[in-house]
Structure 1
Amino acid sequence: MIIHKLESENSLLNQFIAEIRDRDVQGDSMRFRRNVERIGEILGYELSKTLSYYQSEVVTPLGNASVAKLEDHLVLCSVLRAGLPLHQGLLNYFDQAENAFISAYRHHPDGGEEFEVIVKYFAAPDLKDKILILTDPMLATGKTLENVYKALQRHGTPKQIHIVSVIGSSPGVSYIKNFFPENTHLWIAAIDRELSREGYIVPGLGDAGDLAFGVKL
């Protein structure tokens, strides 16, 4: 797996990361969503540099210009509900992309710390020979992405896979290396070292879905 951790370089991205982590700023859910969206735009821009392009002639009012245009066919796939702001950020830039959505949640069978990831609602186009961009803002244990990837496999084999996340954990990143193809790219803003006993990223930022859309029952 090819890992691109953008926090390592100083840029405006780090300001947005600081705000989504800061509990004094997190109370503004609209700002939280917008910051995640902006992080998605930055990650998408960096990702776009690795895609395939072709030269095209564009007619301007004063003549012709040769411009490189995107050649690859993209599918953006997001995990509901936390992935929606990140998905929108990518869609702002990849506005011609097809879209897929999948519902995945943690189920604690006995009410304890152990959990399994349940995948339910799923809608996706054909993935054959396309660029698949999987978005999940919090790459914690990696089990959600594992189950999403298994569910996607019956929709065709993509040309390449890119994973886009805001914050991940070192254990989660190591975990997903085991089942994604070697040429998979991970685009991530920050990677934290630890997971809590409940499987949450530490220091992380809390529950991204709750911060973006309100606490669920």
Structure 2
Amino acid sequence: MRQVHVVDHPLVQHKLTLMRETERSTQGFRRLLNEIGMLLAYEVTRDLPLEEHEIQTPVAPMRAPKLAGKKLVFAPILRAGMGFVDGMLELVPSARIAHIGLYRDPKTLQAVEYYFKAPPDVAERLVIVLDPMLATANSAVAAVDRLKERGCRELRLVCLLAAPEGVERFHGVHPEVPIWTAAIDERLDSHGYIVPGLGDAGDRMFGTR
């Protein structure tokens, strides 16, 4: 699929398999999501621009690359998106955080916003939206809609799992926003869950139902 990057690194695939297992504990699931978040952050930032700076090593002066431009913004969709944040901040500790509170109406499956908070200059930064499950894509579409309303134009989406229907729906609305995911599963079931999937990521991460 165009604009979809499946991260097939062996460590990512191994950890994803462990997360799928029904008997995985809440603690174990949360730890694995944190670890995969770091690995996915490495992939989604692979092409960030660099610029050379004059520095002094203990031996000699040199010109060496540093990240160019303003710092990144990670934008987790609450609540499950928070599972990615700590791992990604380990890799990019200077990143800013935007919080997007959305929940899925159980009857309509539509996203309902209840909270939004972003850095004042978010429109001037690369924003990486975090949502572990791209199922119906209603939450991801609503989050990107909201960020575009704030003037954001450089956006990327990171998810753990995607359904083909979710990818199609998301790119039907936001075709220019690339997606990074660990896997694209078979389909959605009648309740809007990814099959075979791993269940509800938020419930498994927080021990709720």
Q: Same fold (TM over 0.5)?
A: yes
The sequence identity of aligned pairs, in percent, is 33
TM-fit CA distance, 1:65: 3.8
TM-fit CA distance, 1:57: 2.6
Instruction: Report Cα offsets for 1:166-213 as digits up to 9, x if no partner.
Output: 01101101110012142x221110110210111010000001111111
Q: Which secondary structure state, in structure 2, belongs to the residue aligned with residue 62 of structure 1?
A: coil
Residue 12 of structure 1 corresponds to which residue in structure 2?
Answer: 11
Aligned AA (2:178): H
TM-fit CA distance, 1:150: 1.7
* Runs of 4+ residues deviating >3 angstroms: none
Structure 2: stretches of 5+ with no match in the other structure: none
Distance of 1:67 and 1:197 partners within structure 2:
54
1:53 and 2:47 matched: no
TM-score relative to the length of structure 1: 0.89
TM-fit CA distance, 1:89: 1.7
- Greater fraction strand: 1
Instruction: Report Cα offsets for 1:2-35 as digits up to 9, x if no partner.
Output: 111013xx521111011100112x2x21221111
Aligned AA (2:115): Y
Instruction: Report Cα offsets for 1:109-131 as digits up to 9, x if no partner.
Output: xxx5x332101111011322311
Residue 37 of structure 1 corresponds to which residue in structure 2?
Answer: 34
Distance of 1:186 and 1:72 partners within structure 2:
22
Aligned 8 A contact 2:141 2:170 in 1: yes
Cα RMSD for the two superposed structures: 1.5
Q: Which secondary structure state, in structure 2, belongs to the residue aligned with residue 58 of structure 1?
A: strand
Q: Which secondary structure state, in structure 2, belongs to the residue aligned with residue 128 of structure 1?
A: helix
1:84 and 2:88 matched: no
Distance of 1:11 and 1:118 partners within structure 2:
36
Aligned AA (2:78): L
Instruction: Report Cα offsets for 1:58-80 as digits up to 9, x if no partner.
Output: 32222224322111321110011
Alignment of structure 1 residues 122-201 onto 2, 5 Å: 122-125=116-119, 126-158=121-153, 160-182=154-176, 184-201=177-194
Structure 1: stretches of 5+ with no match in the other structure: none
Q: How many residues align?
A: 206
Aligned AA (2:205): A
Distance of 1:197 and 1:70 partners within structure 2:
45
TM-score relative to the length of structure 2: 0.92
